[in-house]
Amino acid sequence: MSSRIVHCYDYVNHPYPRVRDILLANPSYVFRHATAAAATHAATLHVRIGSIDVGADVAIQVSVAPQAKTELSRPTTELTLGWAAVKNPKLFPTMVATLSIYPLTPTETQLEIEGEYLPPMGTLGEVIDAAVGHRLAEASVTRFVQEVAGWLREELALTGAQARP
């Protein structure tokens, strides 16, 4: 069974140190709240297919030790993520990914995710993945990154407004 690569990104219009600090303080909290799964211990990955919203709650394991490094002369923080569906995990892909956080400008931060997922159900799963599954996986990971970036933009705007006199 072969893995498939997914790569997507979004940005947050706040300085890198603020974005990095809020994500590193409690990444699981950020992922749950960003994906509207605050009442559970999982994040929700979903994608719209026409008028139907298809999704699954996933348990996300975050690397305990985020890596800080310098890429192309800019600071970069990386979190290693792994996830699997909470219910019926054999019906959904599992994924291992790196979430990179780095400054684009002094006031903008990039969130970039690159990962590999394994289609479920063996050979049948690979056939389904080749037909539609890869597009669904890519769309759901893209939406996840967009939701995390959107939540961070809103949260940082709120905390920035509260911090001012």
The three-state secondary structure class of 140 is helix
Domains of the chain: 4-163 (3.30.530.20)
pLDDT above 60 (res 38): no
3-state percent breakdown (helix, strand, coil) of the chain, nearest 5: 40, 40, 20
pLDDT of the residue at 54: 60
pLDDT of the residue at 39: 47
- Residue 152 — pLDDT band, cuts 50, 70, 90? very high
Residue of 93 and 38 predicted with greater confidence: 93
d(CA 109, CA 53): 29
Q: What percent of the chain has pLDDT over 90?
A: 35
Torsion sign across C-alpha atoms 38, 40, 42, 45: negative
Residue of 26 and 70 predicted with greater confidence: 26
Least confident among 30-34, 65-69, 89-93: 65-69
Average pLDDT, the chain: 80
The single-letter code of the amino acid at 109 is T
